[in-house]
Amino acid sequence: MTTEQILIMLATAALSFFSGRAQSMANKHDAAVEAKEKLFQDMLENQKKFIAWQEEMNKQNAEMRQELKELRVSVNRIASGGLVLLRDRIIQSCRAFIERGKITITARNNIRDMYKCYHDEFNGNGDGEYYYNEMMGLPIDQDVPIVSHFPLGGEAYDRKN
């Protein structure tokens, strides 16, 4: 073999070696690019799912806000109705006892409890407050027995007996 043939063989072997290495590196690069592309596509898909979920949550949030708004309106109406009923009941009760000129302990305590709710919880005042203050100045009716509906010793408690 001649020197020229040996050099050609060595050059061919070197080119084959480097060509194989280049092809191997290109394959690894292509695989890495493909993996990154798949990861990117998965991220896009997850982002679409997240955006859809977020839109659904926003829709549900808007519905809940509307329901809460309607509930507040209903609660305010009920509270207003309760205030009106308490004021009416306090005024009726107080007027009846004011006309009578005296009041029982039980009635006084009941009216006091209604007034406390009316005044403290509902911030009621005006006519209800006026009649309540008038009623509180009434003398206690001593001729009416205090009856407890809770059994004490097996029977209802009657203070006169």
Q: Is the pLDDT of residue 137 over 90?
A: yes
pLDDT of residue 147: 56
Domain residue spans in the chain? 55-142
pLDDT digits (tens, 9 = 90+) for 72-85: 999 999 999 989 99
Q: Is 22 helix (H, G, I), strand (E, B) or coil?
A: helix
Cβ count within 10 A of residue 130: 12
Q: How confident is the model at residue 157 (pLDDT cuts 50, 70, 90)?
A: very low
Between the CA of residue 137 and those of 24, 41, 102, 156, what are the distances in Å? 105, 83, 9, 30
